[in-house]
Chain A
Amino acid sequence: MEIKQTAIAGTLESSDIQIMLSKGQSGIQIDLESDVKKQFGDQINAVITETLKKFGIDHVKVKALDKGALDCVIKARTIAAAQRALKTADQPAWEVL
């Protein structure tokens, strides 16, 4: 799937994560900022990548500002950002959930 517009989801509150998706050419490129990057950076990247792949997104730039979010939150914010970026927010992709 093609990113149609830059889109954002999530806040900078603690235990949240803000995901911004914009057009990219070379795979899923994640730029992650997180206080827990040392311990959970790989896991956070894995959750974002896996969720984006379920939408069929193969090329995208991801800016992720993590404030200690749990996996379920990361997944939810990524789904929201993806649907906004794909302009499909009015048709929730239930199968991805």
Chain B
Amino acid sequence: MKNSVGRKLPDDLMKQLNYEGFKSTEIGKPQVQRVAPKVHVSTGDDKLVDSIEDVVKKTVKDGMTISFHHHFRNGDFVFNKVMRVIIDQGIKNLTLAPSSLTGVMNDIVIEAIKKGTITNITSSGMRGSLGDFVSHGGLKNPVIFRSHGNRARAIEHGDIKIDVAFLGVPNADKLGNANGMQGDAVFGSLGYALMDAQYADNVVLLTDNIMPYPNTPASIKQTQVDYVVKVDKVGDPDKIGSGATRFTKDPKELKIAAMVNDVIVHSPYFKDGFSFQTGSGGAALAVTRYLRQAMIDNQIKASFALGGITKPTTDLLEEGLVRRVMDVQDFDKGAAASMHTNPNQQEIDASWYADPDNKGAMVDQLDIVILSALEIDTDFNVNVMTGSDGVIRGAVGGHQDAATAKLTIISAPLVRGRIATVVPKVTTNVTPGDSVDVLVTEYGIAINPKRKDLQKAFANLPGVPVYTIEELQQMAEKKVGKPKPLEFTDRTVALVEYRDGSIIDAINEVKD
């Protein structure tokens, strides 16, 4: 079968997993039923234990679904500690359902797959050796990729039923009151982990820092937690996020950032009380700097900044240029520290951030977002999942979710080395072109033909040449040449859900 963006989907798997093809970016107003977790009643006096082995023995059984968060990013020690015990105890057929997988987790996930410990994975993304392993058919069942908002939706619907959540935290008291802001390995917002704490049948906290009871502020609450495990170290503070954010000096990135800023400032949305989300890439950080000046010059203040937060954004909060920061995760130490000290930086969970099946999510109120792309095609569809060789090396993240903003800007260089970014057809469709409004490259911009209003608004901006996206695609191809089409086998190694739970694309095993 083919879905509405013309992607061929595997009939047998779609049927077997009870999936429908992607139809539309419109969520509509359905009525949905949420699930509730099991509660193992306790007064809380015997939660504190010092052995991961004992907790795993008590909680994890063959065939269960286990979860982790990725807020420690590449400084994570918890994932490896827990997975080691699970593998060594000989547990089989687990579904791994973390908020995402970072590089430090790759080796042990591959080991767990080879030993039959893990037989299913759902994640926001994967990179490096694990992406390579899966793309070469290393896992029998297809990986299910979900955006951060869609993971929240799937947990609330019961599509992901977490039996045991193992959540590392930089502090907790003996009953499980915990936050991400105090201790050695701090990461700020616990946004993604809050879903697991709320919906998992068993919630196990792991911490290296037992605080006097009661510990506040409590992002995760004692009412949600079954066990608190004392471990040596939960993470490496230096690898959680970069210490100080460095601004890019790359002239190409700066040019793109300046042009993104021009697009924002001349859009109908740049007015007092506007809201925005930027990513963590070099160009996105530079945009924040340009935007700051534009806000000062035009005496405009933003109502909120959303999403993954960086120091340049919390600086705007300090300066009073942004009224609130709505924070689902922090990308650097500055942003994490600011959440601790600034009451106007609000921790939000993944559901509040981006879940489509909600009574309003933050992304639904978002005016402007700047997102990246590995590839974007002439229908404005975006790939952030597979590399130019067809191998999995990315993550959906909040891409699909934030793209529902009123003005969705994709910032990307026209070519990277010999690889065109603007292509006739994306290798993997992650975010449908319907939700993308403007592409900004170093050569100029392309506006989605559906946005006549924006075509008018950006028609005569000095320094911002407007092309059709086909022209940009041809410009890229003229530079790098026409690539030989990638070769895939018939076997599906991953399915990419759209944020409503339908399938937007399938990823097949690479042939080589």
Contact = CB atoms under 8 A, between A and B. Distances in A.
Interface of A: 14-15, 35-36, 38-43, 67-71
B512 interface: yes
A66 B480 CA distance: 14
B251 interface: no
Interface string B492-512: 000000000000000000001
Given A14-B417, A38-B486, 7 more contacts: A15-B418, A36-B417, A38-B484, A40-B481, A68-B416, A68-B417, A71-B481
B251 to A, nearest CB: 14
B417 A40 contact: no
B479 interface: yes
A14 B417 CA distance: 7
Contacts of A41: 484
Given A70-B479, A71-B481, A38 B418 contact: no
Interface hub of A38, A43, A71 (most chain B Cβ within 10 A): A38
Which 3 pairs across A and B sit closest by C-beta, in order of nearness?
A: A68-B417, A39-B483, A68-B418
Nearest to B483: A39
Q: How large is the interface on B (under 10, 10 to 19, 20 to 34, 35 or more residues)?
A: 10 to 19
B479 A36 contact: no
B388 interface: yes
A35 B419 CA distance: 10
A48 B417 CA distance: 18
Contacts of A36: 388-389, 417-419, 483
Contacts of A67: 417
A40 B479 contact: no
Nearest to B418: A68
19 contacts: A36-B417, A36-B418, A36-B419, A38-B486, A38-B487, A39-B388, A39-B389, A39-B418, A39-B419, A39-B483, A40-B481, A42-B484, A67-B417, A68-B416, A68-B417, A68-B418, A68-B419, A69-B418, A71-B481
B417 A15 contact: yes
A40 B512 contact: no
Contacts of A71: 481
A68 B418 CA distance: 5
Contacts of A43: 481, 484
A37 to B, nearest CB: 9
B512 A70 contact: no
Nearest to A47: B481
A39 B486 contact: yes
B484 A39 contact: yes
Interface in B332-364: none
Contacts of B486: 38-39
A40 B389 contact: no
Nearest to B481: A43
Nearest to B482: A43
Interface in B448-492: 479-481, 483-484, 486-487
Nearest to A17: B418
Contacts of A70: 418, 479-481
Contact of B512 (A35, A38, A68): A38
A38 B386 CA distance: 14
A43 B477 CA distance: 14
A42 B483 CA distance: 10
A69 B480 CA distance: 9
Contacts of B512: 38
Interface hub of B390, B419, B486 (most chain A Cβ within 10 A): B419
Interface hub of A35, A42, A67, A69 (most chain B Cβ within 10 A): A35
Contacts of B419: 36, 39, 68
A61 to B, nearest CB: 24
A72 B487 CA distance: 27
A71 B480 CA distance: 8
A73 to B, nearest CB: 10
A33 to B, nearest CB: 14
Interface hub of A14, A36, A39, A69 (most chain B Cβ within 10 A): A39
B350 to A, nearest CB: 34
A43 B390 CA distance: 19
Contacts of B479: 70
Nearest to B510: A38
A37 B479 CA distance: 17
B428 to A, nearest CB: 15
A41 to B, nearest CB: 8
A41 B343 CA distance: 55
Contacts of A38: 389-390, 484, 486-487, 512
Contacts of B480: 40, 70
Interface string B378-407: 000000000011100000000000000000
A21 B419 CA distance: 26
A68 B480 CA distance: 9
B398 to A, nearest CB: 28
Interface string B414-457: 00111100000000000000000000000000000000000000
A6 to B, nearest CB: 27
A20 to B, nearest CB: 20
A71 to B, nearest CB: 6
B475 to A, nearest CB: 13
A29 to B, nearest CB: 21
B148 to A, nearest CB: 30
